[in-house]
Structure 1
Amino acid sequence: MIRTGEQYRESVRDGRRIWINGEEVADVTVHPAFKPLVDIRARIYDMAHDPATAAVMTYADPDTGELNAVQQKPPTSRADWEAKRAATDAVLTDVGGVVTRVGDETIGEVWSLIDGQDVLDAINPAFSENVKRHIERACFEDPFHVSANTDPKGDRSKRPQDQDPDMLLHVVRETDRGIVVRGAKYETAAAYSNQAFTKPTIANWGDSELSDYALGFMLDMGAPGLRYICRTGFAGRAPAEDYPLANRFDEVDTLVVFDDVEIPWENVLFYRNTEAATFIRATLHRYSAYAFTQRNLRLADLMIGAALWNVKQTGLERQQAVQEKLAALACYREGINAHLTAAIAHAEPSPGGLLMPNQSLLYSGRVLACSQLHEMMHIARELCGGQICITPDKASFEHPETAPWLEKFYSINEHWVAEDRRKLLAYARDLLNSDYAGHRLTFQLFAQSPPFAHLSAVYRSFDWDGPLDLVKDAAGLSDRVLGSLGRTK
């Protein structure tokens, strides 16, 4: 059943070992680097109980009548996808910003396992049963679920077997209870989540059919032997009045060290099978790319809003050059929106009986959203102007000796006084120029695999036969040319 925010907070007070800035964290729910996002995740749970938002966040199970989270439900209809999109929008509106690793954009990776039942059955039917059990748990127990993908990797010109073997997570031994794994994974939000779908990174398996690196499992984030070493956070570095986004929406990334962690057999989803590992990597984002790309849509809206307010408060919105830049931002925004909308309008049945977004449209939309983000941020910077990088902080606006000068030079008219301009410039700076803004740009580029993998997904999903047939017929080519493709009409 759906948990409350307080139940979630209690679930991550499990004695896990966490370090940040050289300090071991006693309680992740109150530490200043983690508390803002813990509170947001708790709010998402509480939204399911809040009368104002419960309807958009929950659905009633047809068999039991019990309320469950919309975002955790495996999608079988367009209505399911429309409900998921509405729930994500409701969350981003409620919290007032963009958060990515809060569960709804990672649970889709588990749904992709449903589509791999035949592959898993061929390896070991018990693994297939494990998948079914974990799907049910995700639906009805509502854990905070994240995804563990990227390893330290080491020297990528070498096979993992030819260097320190721990550079990629691998099995070191089996026990009666399960497998024991060693290595490390990078994962955002790991330190304050409940479980992770842990799977191989993109790898060249070579001739190793039964690789100890080809494994996937559900990880209990409170398991003995885990160590969480976090990057420096942005929250608390500077006053929230000057960095309103960094202090509220920094999702802390973590190196999760597996120091001989035992994974129970019932949590193992595949093991020592490169075919399964390759399949999972190829299908990993067929669902989760939707919610991930939806975040870029909201980020585009924030950039448009920040840029438009800035040109309006200085009276520049009527200039043609300014309108052209605003139109470029709008085209970017609507391009993402069109891909998301069309991907559901043309949704496809999946091999496992679910309904997945149209794969070509979804993956093309992800490439559009990620590959053009840096250009759109630069256009927004131009529209906001140079003052987002030179404006003094709030303390200077309040100091008795400097406040009168800043009041004079930052007030425009009776509508735009110094304090409102300071707030707008501080917001735009944190959205576009700060350490937090740079981190988010890089994160969006790599969070669902690097750009080459994004393009590979488009290549695998696009219908190449349509253009080939179109030109064959238009050019009057004979059917003999079909033989060169290894296909028939």
Structure 2
Amino acid sequence: MIRTGDQYRESIRDGRDVWMNGEKVTDVTTHPAFKPLVDIRARIYDMAHDPATRDSMTYQDESTGEVNAIQQKPPRTREDWDAKRAATDAVLSDVGGVVTRVGDETIGEVWSLIDGQDVLNAINPTYAENVKRHIDHALYADPFHVSANTDPKGDRSKRPQDQDPDMLLHVVRETDSGIVVRGAKYETAAAYSNQAFTKPTIANWGDSELSDYALGFIADMGSPGLKYICRTGFAGTKPPADYPVSSRFDEVDTLVVFDDVEIPWENVLFYRDTKAATFIRATLHRYSAFAFTQRNLRLADLMIGAALWNVKQTGLEKQQAVQEKLATLACYREGINAHLTASIAMAEPSPGGLLMPNQSLLYTGRVLACSQLHEMMHIARELCGGQICITPDKASFDHPDTKPWLDKFYSINEHWVAEDRRKLLAYARDLLNSDYAGHRLTFQLFAQSPPFAHLGAVYRNFDWEGPLDLVKDAAGLSDNVLGTLGRKAK
């Protein structure tokens, strides 16, 4: 059944071993660095019960009659995708900002395993059964599901087995109950989630057919032996009035240490086979890239809004140079929107019977969104102007000795008084120019995979034969050249 926000909070009060800034965190639901995102995830659960939002967040399962979360439903129709997109937009609008790792962007990685059933069955039919059971569990139990991908890696010029073996997560032994794993993973939101799809990183397998590093499983985040070592959080460290974005939307990244953690056999999705690991890595984002890229669309809207309000309040929106920069932001935004919309309009059946977004359009949209983000942020900075990095803080605007001067120099007219300008400049600074803004830029670039892997996904999914056939006919080439493609003339 769909949980409430309070039920979610209670589910992560399980005594997990969480550390930040050299101190042990006793309760992630109340700690100032974690509480803002815990509250947002709890709000997402509560939106499923709120009469104002439940219709956009839930659906009734035909076979069970139960009400389930739209975001956890494996997509089989275009209507499913439209509903998922609307639900994500509803969440981002309700919370007033962009949050990425809240479940809908990570559950899609497990759906990709449905498309790998033949590969998994060739190894062990039990693995495909485990995949189905966990997808059903995610659908009906509604856990907060995240993703574990990147390892510390160590010296990447060496094979995993040629250095400290713990640099990549690996199996150290089997038991009657399951496998025991050791190593570490970087995971966003891990410390306040319920479970994680833990899978192999991009690794150099060499010629090996079997490897203890080639494994994928569902980890219960309350398992004994897990340790969460978190980076310093942005929330709770600076005044929210001066940092309205980072104080609310920081999704804490964590080095999750697996210190001989036992994974039950029923949670093992694939194990040891490098062919399965390579296949899963190649298809991992065929669904989840949609939700990830959709966040960039919302971020583009926030940048446009912040930049446009800044030029409007100073009367610069009628200048041609300003309009050109705004138009550039609009082209970026609409480019992402077009790729997302077209990927569903031209969606294609998957090998496992799901409906996946058009892969070429989705992956090229992700490249557009990520590769141009830094340029768009810089354009938005230019439009917001230099005051976003030199404006005093709210305490100065409030102090009786400095308030009159700041009221004088920051008030433009009766419509734009000093306090509204301060709020706008503080928001733009935190969105575009703060430590948190730099962190988010890097996160968006690498969160699903590094840029070379983004382009690799495009290469594997683009229809190269179309342009080749076009030029073959236009240039009058003989059918002999088709032999170089492994094809025969029709």
Shorter-chain TM-score: what band? over 0.9
Aligned residue in 2 for 1:464: 464
Structure 2 Cα separation of the partners of residues 33 and 238 of structure 1: 11
Is residue 241 of structure 2 the alignment partner of residue 241 of structure 1? yes
Q: Deviation string for 1:52-97 (max 9, x for gaps)?
A: 0000000000012110000000000000000000000000000000
| Offset at residue 209 of structure 1 (A) | 1.0
Structure 2 Cα separation of the partners of residues 117 and 282 of structure 1: 14
Aligned residue in 2 for 1:15: 15
Is residue 302 of structure 2 the alignment partner of residue 302 of structure 1? yes
Is residue 483 of structure 2 the alignment partner of residue 483 of structure 1? yes
> SS state of the match for residue 59, structure 1?
strand
Is residue 419 of structure 2 the alignment partner of residue 415 of structure 1? no
> SS state of the match for residue 255, structure 1?
strand
Structure 2 Cα separation of the partners of residues 121 and 287 of structure 1: 22
2:169, 2:181 within 8 Å by CA — same for their partners in 1? yes
Aligned residue in 1 for 2:285: 285
Structure-to-structure mapping, 1:44-55, within 5 angstroms: 44-55=44-55
Structure 2 Cα separation of the partners of residues 339 and 374 of structure 1: 19
Is residue 337 of structure 2 the alignment partner of residue 371 of structure 1? no
> SS state of the match for residue 244, structure 1?
coil
> SS state of the match for residue 210, structure 2?
coil
> SS state of the match for residue 407, structure 1?
helix
Q: Deviation string for 1:426-446 (max 9, x for gaps)?
A: 000000000010000000000
| Offset at residue 22 of structure 1 (A) | 0.6
2:19, 2:228 within 8 Å by CA — same for their partners in 1? yes
One-letter amino acid matched to 1:257: V
Is residue 113 of structure 2 the alignment partner of residue 87 of structure 1? no
Aligned residue in 1 for 2:39: 39
| Offset at residue 472 of structure 1 (A) | 0.4
One-letter amino acid matched to 2:347: A
Structure 1 Cα separation of the partners of residues 35 and 488 of structure 2: 59
> SS state of the match for residue 212, structure 1?
strand
Aligned residue in 2 for 1:77: 77
Structure-to-structure mapping, 1:204-243, within 5 angstroms: 204-243=204-243
Structure 2 Cα separation of the partners of residues 226 and 488 of structure 1: 55
Structure 2 Cα separation of the partners of residues 185 and 215 of structure 1: 13
Structure 1 Cα separation of the partners of residues 486 and 54 of structure 2: 53
Structure 1 Cα separation of the partners of residues 157 and 31 of structure 2: 40
Aligned residue in 1 for 2:201: 201
| Offset at residue 488 of structure 1 (A) | 2.3
Q: Deviation string for 1:12-42 (max 9, x for gaps)?
A: 0001000001110000100000000000000
> SS state of the match for residue 260, structure 1?
strand
One-letter amino acid matched to 1:434: S
Structure-to-structure mapping, 1:109-120, within 5 angstroms: 109-120=109-120
One-letter amino acid matched to 2:165: P
Structure-to-structure mapping, 1:345-384, within 5 angstroms: 345-384=345-384
> SS state of the match for residue 212, structure 2?
coil
> SS state of the match for residue 213, structure 1?
strand
Aligned residue in 1 for 2:385: 385
| Offset at residue 150 of structure 1 (A) | 0.1
2:169, 2:213 within 8 Å by CA — same for their partners in 1? yes
Structure 1 residues not aligned, in runs of 5+: none
One-letter amino acid matched to 2:358: N
One-letter amino acid matched to 1:156: R
Cα RMSD, aligned residues only: 0.5
2:160, 2:204 within 8 Å by CA — same for their partners in 1? no
> SS state of the match for residue 211, structure 1?
strand
Aligned residue in 2 for 1:140: 140
Q: Deviation string for 1:209-264 (max 9, x for gaps)?
A: 11000000000000000000000000022100000000000000000000000000
> SS state of the match for residue 466, structure 1?
helix
Structure 2 Cα separation of the partners of residues 135 and 316 of structure 1: 52
Structure 2 Cα separation of the partners of residues 209 and 36 of structure 1: 45
Structure 1 Cα separation of the partners of residues 64 and 150 of structure 2: 39
| Offset at residue 128 of structure 1 (A) | 1.1
Is residue 435 of structure 2 the alignment partner of residue 438 of structure 1? no
Q: Deviation string for 1:115-170 (max 9, x for gaps)?
A: 01100000001111111100100111100000000000000000111110000000
> SS state of the match for residue 196, structure 1?
strand
One-letter amino acid matched to 1:264: P
Structure 1 Cα separation of the partners of residues 484 and 119 of structure 2: 31
One-letter amino acid matched to 2:148: A
Structure 2 Cα separation of the partners of residues 205 and 297 of structure 1: 36
Aligned residue in 2 for 1:265: 265
Q: Deviation string for 1:380-401 (max 9, x for gaps)?
A: 0000000000000000001111
One-letter amino acid matched to 2:432: L
> SS state of the match for residue 214, structure 1?
strand
Is residue 182 of structure 2 the alignment partner of residue 175 of structure 1? no
2:17, 2:24 within 8 Å by CA — same for their partners in 1? yes
Structure 1 Cα separation of the partners of residues 471 and 339 of structure 2: 26
Q: Deviation string for 1:292-351 (max 9, x for gaps)?
A: 000000000000000000000000000000000000000000000000000000000000
2:58, 2:69 within 8 Å by CA — same for their partners in 1? yes
Which stretches of structure 1, 4 residues or longer, exceed 6 Å deviation after superposition? none
Structure 1 Cα separation of the partners of residues 152 and 487 of structure 2: 41
Aligned residue in 2 for 1:450: 450
| Offset at residue 485 of structure 1 (A) | 2.0
Is residue 412 of structure 2 the alignment partner of residue 401 of structure 1? no
2:215, 2:271 within 8 Å by CA — same for their partners in 1? yes
2:366, 2:454 within 8 Å by CA — same for their partners in 1? yes
One-letter amino acid matched to 1:277: A
> SS state of the match for residue 150, structure 1?
coil
Structure 2 Cα separation of the partners of residues 134 and 155 of structure 1: 34
One-letter amino acid matched to 1:450: P
Structure 2 Cα separation of the partners of residues 249 and 238 of structure 1: 13
Structure 2 Cα separation of the partners of residues 63 and 288 of structure 1: 25
2:336, 2:369 within 8 Å by CA — same for their partners in 1? yes
Structure 1 Cα separation of the partners of residues 284 and 340 of structure 2: 18
| Offset at residue 100 of structure 1 (A) | 0.2
Structure 2 Cα separation of the partners of residues 488 and 286 of structure 1: 30
Structure 2 Cα separation of the partners of residues 335 and 207 of structure 1: 41
Q: Deviation string for 1:354-378 (max 9, x for gaps)?
A: 0000000000000000000000000
Structure 1 Cα separation of the partners of residues 237 and 305 of structure 2: 26
One-letter amino acid matched to 1:463: D
Aligned residue in 1 for 2:187: 187
Aligned residue in 2 for 1:4: 4
> SS state of the match for residue 51, structure 1?
coil
Aligned residue in 2 for 1:63: 63
Q: Identity over the aligned pairs, expressed in percent?
A: 88
TM-score, normalised to structure 1's length?
Answer: 1.00
